[in-house]
Each structure stands twice: as structure tokens, then as C-alpha cells.
Structure 1
Amino acid sequence: MMTNSLLRRTPLFLALSLTSALAWAADPIDQTDPRHTEPKTLDAVEVKATPLADTAESLARPVEVLAGEKLDEAKANSLGETVSKLPGVQSSYFGPGVGRPIIRGFDGARVQVLSDGLGSGDVSTVSVDHAVTLEPFLADQIEVLKGPATLLYGSGAIGGAVNVVDGRVPESAPDEPFQGRAELRADSVNDGRTGMLRLDGGTGNGLVFHFDGLHRETDDYEIPGFAESARQLAEEGETPDPSTRGILSNSAVRTDSAALGVSWVGERGFFGGGYSLYSTRYGVPGHSHEHGEEHEGEEGEEAHEEEGPVHIVMDQRRAEARAGLNDIGPFKSLRARVARTEYTHTEFEGEEVGTVFDNDSTEGRVELVHQPFGGFEGAFGLQWAQRDFKAIGDEAFVPASKSRDAGLFWIGQRQFGDVKLELGARHDQNKIDIDESTAIGPDRDFDTTSVSAALKWDISDAFHLSFGLDRAQRSPTAEELYSNGLHVATGSVELGQPGLDAETANRAELGLHWHLGALKLGASLYHVRYDDFIYLADTGVEEHDGPVRLWTQDDARFNGAEGEADWNFAENGSGSWNLRIFGDVVRAELTGSGTRPVDFSVPHGDHTHDYSIELARGGNLPRIAPWRVGGELRWERGPLRASLGAVRYAEQDRVAQFESETPGYTLVDAHLAWHGDTSGGNAWEVFVDGSNLLDKEARAHTSFLKDVAPLPGRNVGAGVRIFF
């Protein structure tokens, strides 16, 4: 029934099915194609996020890469969910349409999301209900830079960066004159249908092209019980309607994405351009809300009007140009890229338009890799960006602003025998001009400087130690400075502080990697001490039927550890057997003691309510991911591969002031795939994926919706991939 609906409702599926059938009919199956029988080592994949070409294993700074079969198995509706099983990486959650990466406890404006080295151009840092406009299903590889990436990508990467490599503007000729891949997928938990197609080719005279397209539709997803948590039901003294059990209403998603890129590639370089679009519509679960307006003469009372479910319609158009040239005198290479993004995001309350967000941005980047100088291989870089942002509507809690950023950096590396040294420095200037008619404070200018040093010591061929020291700075965002009103997505009043200063992070990290035959071990310990850490604090005050939260800053520290073991423990007639175990933990807390007085005002129509409170200077920071441990058993034999895994998320009882605890949960998943190659060089793969197979209720502590929107229940997904 679901497959018939898929074919009937989605024309893209018909085209992909025809392509698949032609590929299978063309040639008989041949399992000896070396492209698919040779083992793939992710550590050896070149990391594209740095201008100095290197592999994840060779870099002194911690980097994770998803590619190949591992990426195929991890792909999900959101970028955050796709990378969430990497050590030290979890995901935010605001329904199935929204999931942003959280790296070692850092998220939002501290984690930069990139499309082949340039910012995504969306407004996912403005509000937790805004989606990232990058599609994991279209990626060639996804790179996660853990720890400050400010040297490369500026203030917004103080907690790390995630780079999605999709090759939409080709920089080299493909291996074959014409190649591509396609995928059809159906999911049971939400009657989901996903189809994608990617084509890459060249004419032989230097002209290279790229095309990709994706369509996804899902209905409301199934959950093990009721949407509201037992804690919230008990607090409200309510009994849920039995008819609402098992489905999370208003959680449907529809997404379309497409791109076309053309380049000329010569012996010494390339130049090209591309155009892409991303359109999505998704519901915000748990947000049929009451919208209050205070009427004249009704002091202290509000008349409430029930609004319909909140859903979001987002549209982004992006034009991009890239160029590269090799062997330029004292420089090995020059790379330049620029992107112009036009983004519109409309929040509907029922059928009525609530708030419209417009964000037009331009970002450019130039990288010059120089010849060895003083023994150092290195690169200079210049990056600049401008953003014109405005929000229109009764509940636009952030005023219109224009942001201008410029940064200059150098990174270098040198080998001293068995020791590799990496150094870097960067200076940024950030300027925010605010719309005077809606501003609660003046324009702001910031200068930030970041420096870094890292060592990698190859004690032996099998054992490596790394050590890193960083000093990184981040300037406040317009949202942290100037928010001033009801934030419908989180059901809270959000207040900025125009006087916030830049925050400074000092980090130390020790890492080790040990390769002993079939066994690989890796572990990291890190400590980050923040001066003037900016965070969103609950005040304990309620207005507009929700909590009042205040952007404020204080000193903080983050302590954490992560580890991973990968053991290929058997290779015999039964197949290849591999066991992977990983875990991570982070503790984040304010370092002060006692309390400090805070005064603030909450807007209420044409007047304000004034408050004076005592805010704790110590204690835990809010919405920090709990510790977890996971394992996965993998098996491969001939054309078949399978895996069974589980991740235990601990109870989070180290909570901030006015924050509730979150129970722990265990998620079990499994994957099965049957792969075949054809004599003509094509390949196909039939797969079945299962997630939350025990159908457990799971609520992410990092989510503002944890008490009204649990994670999806049991899901079985199945489909076919073809490679040609």
C-alpha cells in the first residue's frame, strides 16, 4: 500500500525506477568490480574543510568524516541526526524537520554549518525551530571539525564546524564521462517517501557538469505513547485523550532540493558556477498555542484566541561561483569562492501568516596555499560576509539588522621528525547595524582574535599522541543582543542584552590513537574555560503563558571525554566481523558562586512589566546533552552486509536552574544491504534499515520540545540505490 502510494504521488519515483530498471537490465551481475570490493578506510579520506590537503588521521586537530557505506547508513532527514552517532556529536531536535549538530555540548551560533566551505546562508542559528538548508542525502561526505574551528571559519565556529561536501560546483573532472547515483526509499514510521538523483559528467574538452534533485514527503510520525510526557501531564493535572495516542500531530515534512553546476576544468585550474534551490514545509509539533492580546481597560487580564497548528514554509535560492589556479610563483594554489543566498521563511499559525523571516546574505572566501617557508607549509585566507536580516509580524522577536564580518587568517604545519606541529592565527571584525525603529540598543562593533597550536607525535607506526591549545573568541549575534518579545517556537519570551561582550574560550585537549592489527582505539580528553560565556538563562518568571528567558553571560567551563574502539575480530569463511564501541560525556557549568541581581523588562502591548531577580552564578548550563555509550556489530560476506547496534542515552539530572530532568533511554537500530555490480561498471544495492526497534519513548534533553514531542517510534525503512 505504501509503495503504491509512493509511485502514485511522486513523479520523481517513476523516473528513478525507470533508471534503476535500465541499469539492472544492461548487464549481468559481476561481484568482482574492485570499486566495491576494496575496503574503504574513512581515516584516509581527504578532508576538504582545510586548505592544506590532508586526511582525518594525519591532522593534529580532531576531525570525523562520514563517507561511503557509513554515510549511506547514517543519512537522515536532518543534518544533526545524520552525524549524531559520531563520538562527541549529538543533535538538537525540533520535530523531524529540524535537527542541528551539537558538538561537545556546543550548538547554535557556536557551530558553523558549511556547504563545501561556505556558510549555508540559512537562519538556523536565529531560532531552534529553523531548519538547516543542507540535504544529507545529496552529500559525498560530511566532515565534523571538533573543537574551535575559528581559525578557518571565524567567530561562529568557536565550538566546531560541520562541512557538507556535495560537489555542486565541480572542481575536477569525474572518473567517468558520465556517472551518477540514485536512491528510492520508503519509511514505515511516517509513511515517508524519499527519492534522489545525482548526475556528474564531462564533455572531454574540459566542460564538466553536475545535477542533483531530491524529493521527500512524510506524514505525521508514530510514537510509542502520548505526545506529552508523564511529568508534564502530572504537572498540568490532565488526562490525555486516548485518540491521540501513538501519533505526533503536526509532524509532517515535505522537502524539495535541486542544483545545477557547470565548470571548465583545465590542467592548471578551474572556474565554474552553480545554482541551487531548497524548499521545505514542516510542522512544529506541540504548537497549537494561545495568542494573547491585552485589551485597553482590562488591566492584568488577557483575552486569548486559539490559533491553529504552527507550520513553516521555507524557500532558499543560492547562486555560487568558484575558481582555482595552481602553481602561481610563490603560491602552490589559489582558491576563490563566493555565494549569494536569498532565504525566506514564513511561519503560519493555522492558515494565518504569523511571522516572515527574510535573510539575504553574501559570503566570499579566498585561500592562498604558499610554498614552504621557514619549513612551514601554510595558507593565507581572507573571508568576508554580509547579512541583511528582517522579521515581519506581530511575533517577530528579533529586530531587523545588517551584519558585516571580515576575517584574515593563516594556518601552517611543519614536520619535526616524528612530531607534526600545526599553528594558526586569525583576526575578525564584526559589525551589527540595527533597525533604529525597533532596536532596544545601539549598533555594535567587535574585534576578535583567535590563535591555535597543535602537536601530533607519532611514537610508533601504531601509536599516536596529539595535544592542542586554543584561544578563540566569538562576538555576540544580533539575536543574543536584541531579542525582545514572544518567541512562539519555544513558547517563551526571549530577551537580549545589548551590552554583551565577546566571549573567550581557552581550550586544552589530549588525544591518543592506537592501531594494533585489527584493533583501533581512539580517545580524547578536553577542557574549555570560557570568559563571559553567553547563554540563554531561565529567569523563573512567566509571561504570555510561558517562561521568560534572558540572554546573559558569565564565566563557564566545559570538561569532556570521548572514545571509540573498532575491532575487526574475525575474517573467515563466515564473513568479516567488526565490533565498534563508542561513548562520550560532557559536563558544562558556570564557575561562579552565589547570585547576582538582574533587572529586565518584558514588553506587554504598549507598556512593559519590570522585574528584578537574583540569577545564579554557578550550577549547570541548560540543555546539555547527557552522557551516552553505544555499540555496533557489523558483518559482511560477499554481496551482503548487516549491522545491529544500540545507544544508551543516560538520564540527564545535572540540570540548570528552573530546568527539568530528562529520563534516559536506549535506541536499537539495524541495517541490511545486498550489493551487486554489473560487468558494465554499474552497481545496485537493496537495503533495509531499522531504527528504535524496541519502540521506546525517547525525549532528547537538548530539545525545547522534549515534554511535547518525543522522538519517532519504531521505523523500518527499505529501498534501492543504484550507482552508474
Structure 2
Amino acid sequence: MNPTFSSSPRRKALTLALAALLAPAAAQAAAEQADTPPGDSRHTSTAHDRHAKDLDAVIVTASPLRDSATELSRPVEVLSGERLDEARAASLGETISGLPGVQSSNFGPGVGRPIIRGMDGPRVAVLNDGLSSQDVSTVSQDHSPAVESFLADQIEVLKGPSTLLYGSGAIGGVVNVVDGRIAETPVDGFSGRAEVRFDGGDRDGNTDMFRVDAGNGSGLSMHADGVYRNQKDYDTPLGRQDNSFVDTKSGSVGTSLSGDWGFVGVSASRFRDDYGNPGEPGDLAEGERGVWLRMKQDRYELKGGLNDPWGEGSGLRYSIGHTQYDHTEFEGDEVGTMFSKRANEGRVEAAFAADSGWKTAIGLQGSDSTFEAIGEEAFVPKTDNKSLGLFAVARNSWGPFQADLGARIDQVKYETDSGLSRDFHPGSASLSGAWRLNPNWRLTLNLDHAERAPAEEELFADGPHIATLAYEIGNPDLKKEAANQAELGLQYQNEWMDAKVAAYYNRYNDFIYLADTGGSWYFDEEDEELPIRQWNQGDAKFHGFEGEATFHLANNDTGTWDLRVFGDTVRARLVDGGNLPRIAPSRVGTQLRWENAVWRASLGATRVNKQDKVAEGETPTDGYTLVDAHLAYHVDAGRSAWEVFLDGNNLTDQEARVHTSFLKDDVMLPGRNASFGVRLFF
């Protein structure tokens, strides 16, 4: 690590921030005479509007009709602004795990893939600005998504089947990380943000980030960003969690031309991530380093759009991405297995608005990728995957009623170097409706039929999968997986409360799952027997409930006081009997939040309940309660602003194990820890 880069800016940032703390009156006076910094989310139009939920007015870019959250009938969550700043973590799953219905997988702090309503892996699509992240995180639970939450402008979570928009890999939902690398509107002047944070207590490390946007105001815009993260092995209430380190470097540059006509731009990004597998920690006392992983991804994108090409309200958007991904697993200093993926993806959407009130969009999405694994854990053969999808969505409103409908058809083709090949043609359809009962109440109903083509590992696996300590066998005769879901939602909003609840039922035909066969395979390297697991199919049903409410307790001279409560639960079973494995447990949580002109603070607790509805051969997991707190001091100083913050996590030092993790018996969450840092907006 370059000492000039890591040390000098931190000292300068801390010095300036402390100076701002000693002179808030001068800073406030300067702020009154100048514009606020463009990158400062504290001054967005919804930041302090107590009559509107913070994020309801944010445009959901994952929707081709470019809707706000309040216009969507489908369940969606958007994390941005101060709430995103407080939630940012080393993994994407951990960052968004505070949202109702969303939890995270766990294979140590370097790996956290989103779990939506009990669905994960190849059923949840992870996107970068609408294009697939094109990593191999769905192939194995110890593989991390190649996305960086610290560089996100906002993170959008579409819950439930989203195959209409993003294909069969989105049958459980979508997480779209919006990074703004390609500006869609002209940038005028120079703006950005930077952050340095240090971890203490049971965590030891630091994270630094910056983002810069510049433009001449007449169309040409430039962007650059970067993150460096270095976290050592963390501690738990039971001692050190060996081999839990994370070392990440990522960054990008982008440029675009934009105006009233639309935009066109390109970007290039690089992601480098080294992290340990705490399930195989080795023994440093004996000179044996554990298993660790090195991920490299280079990504290039071209995006553009036209405004009103076919009249007012119409639009055309297109995007093309090329990804080069390499991933090496080291056993100590020896190379164990190498994973490689080369992918090209393209997407085009055309939107129309008719005088009759109908808003429609049609789109075409295609991808071509090659995945290869080399080494002792190459349990999936080299596979070429070509897919093409055509979709259409439409919406209209009649007074208090709104209707949304859509359909999609895909072609998915696999070819392996072992001679096996399969073709699938998943199809999906959806009907959604919303009824504004009165200015306060809104009722929504969603009916979905969605289909998913099996993933490569489900079809073609045949070999030892050391990450899960099992020998995995695929099933090349697997059929398409089909889901039929119904969801009923209710929203309420008045001056003093914002609330929403949803209940859903999902019946799967030919649900694909990994089951123990009862046999074992001798792993001579470790002199142990590994259980043999095979991918099977069976009908399954998921049903659940989730909700949250924010009560606006007060808005007076002391500041604004809000109380948030939330909860979620999901139940997943095979129709013929038996529970599905590693299903996220139910949760309830609450947070008290206070904010005034310069300070904000919150104190919250989340109870993760015991999970004892387990599959055959799976063990229950005890519940735990995590107590967290946030404190920040914000100073405006003309065209810049400073924010000094302190975040505390697991303040009661709970022993916490993640039920969805294959490593839950060996890996715990960190004990009591805190992060201190400074944010600069300019």
C-alpha cells in the first residue's frame, strides 16, 4: 500500500474535520451565503420532508418506465442518501440486510450475497446499472459478487419474481447497484465526495473512498472513483476468527455527452479483491496458511439513450458490457483452483406513451459467456452459455386504479467441452394492480408466473466442492423451474406515519435443490469422507410476511424524532414433506432516530430468531439480538461540507451465527466493534 496515499489524506481530513467541529458557527454562516455541495445527500429535496418516506420519490432505474417507488405496484426498496451511508459495508449483502425481506449469506466478511425472501444464488440477479455483474458468485458460496457498495449512488431491490425484466436468473428478485459512472445529464462544474473510516474494537482495518464528477455544463462530463479497503482478521466473543481478512481495491473512470436529446457514454472499471476463507483457516503456528481467494475483474460499458424520439414520453435506452473475470483460490501459497469467465451482454429498451394513457416498453436482452474452472475444485466443466430474451411491459391508470402487465420469453443454451448440452425456453407473465383507496391507503396485488433455466453447476457439476466440504453431482436432465406467486400489499401514509405490509405465497414446480444422497466420497488430501450431494427437483412452496412502519414522533426545536419498526418471516417446504435447507430465520427490529440542523443519531436493535425449521441433516441455529448505534456531526461550509461519524455494531457483544451459511458452526459474526470516520462533500 502506498503510504503517501493512505496516511497523508487521512491526517489532513481528520485535522480539517476537527477544525470544523471547533468552529461550527463560522461554517454555518458560510453555508448561508453559498450553495450546498451537489454530492451532499443531506440537502436533497426529500431529506427532511417528514410527510414523505425518504426514498419514495427516488427514480427506480431498474424499471424500463423509469418509475418512482410510489408509482410501482411491485414490491421495491431503494437505499440511498444518509441511510445508505450508515449501512455501507464490505459486502453487498451486509449493506442491504437491514431492509425487510432481505438478508445476507455469509462465508466470512469477504462474501455476502443478497438473500431475498429466502431466495439466493442463481435466483437473485445482481446488477451494475442494469447489466449483470457477470461474476461467478452463484457457482459457489465462497465466491463474492464483484460489486462495491461504497461507490453506489443508490441500491435498488426488486423483491419477488423479476424475470420479466432480467431473465430467468431473477426468479427470486433483483439487486441493482446504481453507480452513476456514465452521467445521463450534463454535469456543471466540479463535485464529488470522499470518505475515510477506521474500524476498532473487534474489527481492525480501514476503508477509503473518493468520487469526482466534472463537466462544462454543456454536455461533456467526466467521472472517476476508487475504493481501498484493508480489514484484518476480526474477533468474536469466543476469540479470533482466523483467516477472515479482506483486502479490496476498485475504481473506475467514465465519460459521456448529454443534453436535452439524451446521452451516450463509456466507462471502464477494475475490481481487485483478496479475502480469506475462515472455514479453512490453516494453522499459522505450524507455518500453514489457510485458503484464500484472489478475484480480478475488468469491465467495459457503453450506454446511451434518446429522449422523446417518438413523441413526448417516449424513450430509447441501450447498453453493452464486456467483462473479463478471473478468480484464483490459493491453498496457502499453492494455486488450488482457477475460475475464469468472459462475458458480453447487451440490452435495448424502447418506451412509448399513448394518448389513451398507456405507457409501454419493449426490450431485447442478450448475453454470451464462457465459464471455465481449472484445478482440483473444477467440479463444473467448461461451459458456453448463450441467452436471448424479448420482453414487454405496459401500464395504465383509471382514477384510483392502476394496472401493470408484462410478458417475456427467453432462449438459454448451454454447451460444455464434455459433450453435454441443453436448451431451455423459459417464459414469464405478470399482472399487477394498485388501488388508491383514499389519500392515505393504497392496496396492491401481484400475480406472477416465472420460469428459470437451471444454472451450470446444477446441470453439470461432478466433483469435490471443497468450499462446502461435499462432492457435488449435477443432473443434466433437470427441467425448467416454474414459480407461481401471489402477493397482497397494503400501504398507509399520513402526517405521522409511513407503513407498508405484504404477504406472499409462491408455489414452485420442479424446484431445484441440493440434497444429501447418504453416500460419501473419500478425499485423500485431507483424509476424510465428504458427503455426496446431488441436485434434485421437487415441488416446493414459499410463503411469508414482511412489513415496516416509521412513526414521526416529533418535529420541534429539539429536532425530528422518528421510530422505525420492521419484521419479516419466510417459510419454505417441499410439497411432499420436509423443509428446505438454509432458509433465513424470521426477524424483528426497531430503531429510534433523531436529527437536527447539524447532528443526527440513532439507536436500534434487531432480533434474529432461532431457526429450528430445518432440513434433514441440518442443525438448528440459535437466535441473537444485535444492537447498533450511529452518531454524525454535519457541517456546511459553502460549496463543501464535512461529516464526522461514529458507528457502533453489536454493542452487547452477542454470539451470532448466520443460519444461511455453510460455515455457521465454524464462523461467527464479529463481536463489539465501531467505525470512526470523516466524509467530505464538495
What TM-score results when the alignment is normalised by the length of structure 1? 0.87
1:237 counterpart residue number: none
Name the aligned partner's letter for residue 638 of structure 1.
A
Number of residue equivalences? 653
CA spacing shift, 1:50–1:20, aligned 2, 3 Å: farther
Report 1:112-191 matches (<5 A). Answer: 112-174=125-187, 176-188=188-200, 189-191=202-204
- In the alignment, the residues of structure 2 paired with residue 661 and residue 98 of structure 1 have an alpha-carbon distance, to the nearest angstrom, of 22
Q: Name the SS of the counterpart of 1:620 in structure 2.
A: coil
Q: Does 1:54 align with 2:67?
A: yes
Measured against aligned partners, the alpha-carbon deviations of 1:559-616 in whole angstroms (never above 9, x if no partner) come to 1000111001112232211100000000000001xxxxxxxxxxxxxxxxxxxxxxxx
Deviation at 1:13, TM superposition (A): 4.8
In structure 1, stretches of 5+ residues that fail to align are 1-5, 226-245, 291-304, 593-617
- Of 356, 359, 375, the residue aligned with 2:357 is 375
> 1:396 aligned to 2:394?
no
> How far apart, CA to CA, are the structure 1 residues paired with 2:67 and 2:300?
28
Instruction: Give the drift of 1:347.
Output: 0.2
Q: Name the amino acid aligned to 1:201.
A: A
Partner of 2:253: 260
Q: 1:686 aligns with which of 644, 653, 657?
A: 644
Aligned to 2:656: 698
User: How far has the Cα of 1:142 moved from its partner?
Assistant: 0.4
Aligned match of 1:613 = none
CA distance in 2, matches of 1:356, 1:307: 21
- Find the aligned partners of 1:85 and 1:707 in 2 and give their Cα distance: 23
Letter of the 2:578 counterpart: G
Matches within 5 A, 1:583-594: 583-592=567-576
Instruction: Say whether 1:527 aligns with 2:505.
Output: yes
Paired residues for 1:5-20 under 5 Å: 9=3, 11-15=5-9, 18=12
Between the aligned partners of 2:282 and 2:232, the Cα distance in structure 1 is 21
What displacement does 1:39 show?
Answer: 4.5
Tell me the residue number matched to 1:489. Answer: 467
**Is the contact between residue 46 and residue 57 of structure 2 (CA under 8 Å) also seen in structure 1?**
no
Partner residue, 1:232: none
Is 1:217 matched up with 2:230? yes
4+ aligned runs moved over 6 Å, structure 1: 19-27
8 Å CA contact 2:243, 2:281 repeated in 1: no
Cα distance in 2 between the residues matched to 1:376 and 1:572: 44
Map 1:448-527; keep pairs closer than 5 Å: 448-527=426-505
Q: 2:530 aligns with which of 546, 552, 563?
A: 546
Q: Residue 349 in 1 paired to residue 331 in 2?
A: yes
SS of structure 2 residue aligned to 1:634:
strand
Q: Say whether the 8 Å CA contact 1:386–1:402 is kept in structure 2.
A: yes
Cα contact 1:382–1:406 (8 A) shared by 2:
yes
Give a deviation string over 1:70-129, Cα, whole Å, max 9, x none.
000000000000000100000000000000000000000000000000001111111111
Match among 523, 544, 547 for residue 560 of structure 1: 544
Deviations along 1:10-45, one digit per CA (max 9) or x if unpaired, are 724534654776797899412657773564221111
> In 2 relative to 1, CA 324–411 (structure 1 residues): closer, same or farther, beyond 3 Å?
same
1:281–1:312 CA contact under 8 A, matched in 2 = yes
Distance 1:394 1:344 in 2: 16
Q: Does 1:633 align with 2:631?
A: no
Distance 1:675 1:272 in 2: 34
Match for residue 366 of structure 1? 348
In the TM superposition, residue 464 of structure 1 has moved relative to its aligned partner by 0.3
Answering whether residue 216 of structure 2 is matched by residue 203 of structure 1, we say yes
Q: Please state whether the residue corresponding to 1:50 is helix, strand or coil.
A: coil
Which string of whole-angstrom CA distances, capped at 9 and with x for unpartnered residues, describes residues 653-674 of structure 1? 0000111111111111000000
Residue 425 of structure 2 aligns to a residue whose secondary structure is strand
Aligned with 2:310 (options 316, 329, 336)? 329
Q: Say if 2:609 is the partner of 1:653.
A: no
Aligned-partner residue type, residue 195 of structure 1: D
Provide the residue aligned with 2:559 in structure 1. 575
CA separation in 1, counterparts of 2:391 and 2:150? 32
Q: Report the AA paired with residue 707 of structure 1.
A: D
CA contact (8 A) 1:20 1:722 kept: no
Inter-partner Cα distance in structure 2 for 1:205 and 1:557: 54
Quick one: structure 1 residues 344 and 105, their matched pair in 2 at CA, closer, same or farther if it must change by over 3 Å? same
Secondary structure at 2:314's aligned position in 1?
strand
Aligned to 1:316: 297
Residue of 364, 382, 392 corresponding to 1:410:
392
Cα separation, 1, equivalents of 2:499 and 2:533 = 42
SS across alignment from 1:638: coil
User: Among the aligned pairs, what percent are the same residue?
Assistant: 53
Match 1:428 to one of 410, 418, 422: 410
Q: Equivalent residue for 1:283?
A: 276
Query: In 1, Cα distance between the equivalents of 2:254 and 2:16?
Result: 26
What is the identity, as a one-letter code, of the residue corresponding to 1:506?
Answer: N
What amino acid maps onto 2:83 in structure 1? K
Instruction: Work out which of the residue numbers 247, 262, 265 in structure 1 matches 2:240.
Output: 247
8 Å contact 1:307–1:349 — kept in the other structure? Answer: no
| C-alpha separation in 2, matches of 1:417 and 1:357 | 54
Q: Distance in 1 between matches of 2:544 and 2:408?
A: 26
Partner of 2:526: none
On the 8 A contact 1:183/1:721 being kept in 2, the answer is: yes
Q: 1:153 to 1:554 in 2, by over 3 A?
A: same
Q: Provide the C-alpha distance between the structure 1 equivalents of 2:326 and 2:206, rounded to a whole number of angstroms.
A: 25
Amino acid at match of 1:561: F
> Residue type of the partner of 2:290?
P
Partners of 1:348 and 1:53 in 2: how far apart?
44
**1:500 to partner: Cα distance:** 0.2
Q: Deviations over 1:665-691 (max 9, x none)?
A: 11110000000101x221110000011
Distance 1:511 1:16 in 2: 47
Q: CA RMSD in A?
A: 2.0
**Contact 1:579 1:634 (C-alpha < 8 Å) held by counterparts:** yes
Supply the AA of the counterpart residue of 2:530: G
Selected match of 2:77 from 48, 64, 67: 64
Q: Distance in 2 between matches of 1:413 and 1:190?
A: 49
Other structure's SS at 1:137 match: helix
TM-score computed with the length of structure 2 as normaliser: 0.93
Cα distance, 1:170 vs structure 2: 1.6
Q: Distance in 2 between matches of 1:63 and 1:51?
A: 14
Worse-superposed segment, 324-333 or 63-72: 324-333
Secondary structure, in 3 states, of the residue corresponding to 1:29? Answer: helix
SS at 2:27 equivalent: coil
Distance 1:64 1:499, change over 3 A: same
User: Could you tell me how far 1:645 is from its partner in structure 2?
Assistant: 0.5
Structure 2 CA distance for partners of 1:96 and 1:620, relative to 1, 3 Å: same
CA distance in 1, matches of 2:364, 2:613: 41
Deviations 1:124-165 (A, max 9, x none): 111111111111111000000001110110000000000000
Check the 8 A contact 1:13/1:184 in 2, yes or no. Answer: no
The Cα shift of 1:540 comes to: 3.2
1:623 to 582, 607, 623: 582
SS in 2 for 1:328: coil
User: SS of the residue aligned with 1:52?
Assistant: coil
Q: Is the 8 A contact 2:540 2:574 kept in 1?
A: yes
CA distance in 2, matches of 1:648, 1:137: 26
Q: For 2:67 and 2:520, locate their aligned partners in 1 and report how far apart those are by CA, in whole Å.
A: 52
**1:16 to 1:202, Cα distance in 2 relative to 1, 3 A:** farther
Secondary structure of the corresponding residue to residue 329 of structure 1: coil
Contact 1:13 1:195 in 2 (8 A): no
Aligned CA distance change for structure 1 residues 16 and 405 (closer, same or farther; 3 Å): farther
1:712 aligned to 2:670?
yes
1:527-559 CA-to-partner distances (Å, cap 9, x unmatched) read 000000001112333323332221111000001
